[in-house]
Structure 1
Amino acid sequence: MPESDCPMCRGAAADDELERTRVWEDAYWRLTVSLATIVPGFAYLEPKRHIAFITELDGEEARTFGTVLAASTRRLKEATDADIVYIYIFGDGVPHLHLHLAPHRAGDALNDQMIRGEITEEKMPNGMTRIVSLDFPPIPRERLLEIAARVREGLR
């Protein structure tokens, strides 16, 4: 995928399309919280520079990666009262490095297969695939915006 076609490279201009809201960014990284999920606080951490894989991190991105990841997951855990925050990197769907940060609590939709229940895939107009559990209803957008605001406040 050329950088010009990459939705993640468009940053805030693609947030509505990707159903997410920005909660924090610096010169190298951007953190957004999903507004269409069954996991409260499900977030994406991605470099601003177009790179496909974590192995392409270098310079300041590589130097700040651990600090940014630790702060982001700590704040997500606090904002959602999660027991743990799972971190997933798949790398096959969109060729722009992005980490899936998934706050987890006992009894929620997550398990070692990421999502519990009967699973279906929805192809989005932008070509991405959303994986949905038919056993867990989507969380209301207002609740997701509230969580995003709590994360945003904690990262200022």
Structure 2
Amino acid sequence: MIDSPLRAASQPDQATCGVCRLHNDQDAISHFEIHREPLWLLRHHPLPAPLPGWLMLDARRHLGGPIDFNPEEAAGFGPVLQRGCALVRELTGCDRVYAIAFGEGPATCICT
């Protein structure tokens, strides 16, 4: 893989990452946290949430998204994403659950 200066420049470092700041603020994260695992944190989207059932699935370490998963994160991503999506469906009664990946974190489950 070619290491591009554009790729490195597009990712915030840990000191300026909003997800890392939230994870390190125990008072703030306690209002949003649903489930914590060694590699993953499932949380509510901060208000105002764009849609009912919008949840965030964050890696517990700083990374730029799924492209940066280590082997353990890659192996665990599917099962924890599936459980989060099942929770959205159970709590909202929605017909369909979507998973969207953003550059600021690995995934988001939303319900429509």
Which TM class, normalised by the smaller chain length?
0.7 to 0.9
The one-letter code of the counterpart of 1:41 is G
| Structure 1 partner of 2:3 | none
Distance 1:8 1:47, change over 3 A: same
Distance 1:14 1:84, change over 3 A: farther
How many residues in Structure 1 have an aligned counterpart in Structure 2? 98
Shift of 1:12: 5.6
Task: State the Cα deviation string for residues 30-85 of structure 1 (Å, max 9, x = none).
Answer: 11112312411111111011110211112321111111011110111111111111
Q: How does 1:29-108 map to 2 (within 5 A)?
A: 29-34=40-45, 35-91=47-103, 96-104=104-112
The one-letter code of the counterpart of 2:101 is I
Distance 1:68 1:2, change over 3 A: same
Which residue of the other structure, out of 25, 31, 35, is the alignment partner of 1:24?
Answer: 35
Distance 1:15 1:84, change over 3 A: farther
Distance 1:102 1:75, change over 3 A: same
Runs of 4+ in 1 over 4 A off after TM superposition: none
Distance 1:66 1:6, change over 3 A: same
In terms of fraction of residues, the more helix-rich structure is: 2
Distance 1:86 1:100, change over 3 A: same
CA contact (8 A) 1:7 1:14 kept: no
What is the TM-score of this pair, normalised by structure 2?
Answer: 0.76
* Residue 8, structure 1, aligned to residue 19, structure 2: yes
- Secondary structure of residue in 2 paired with 1:3: coil
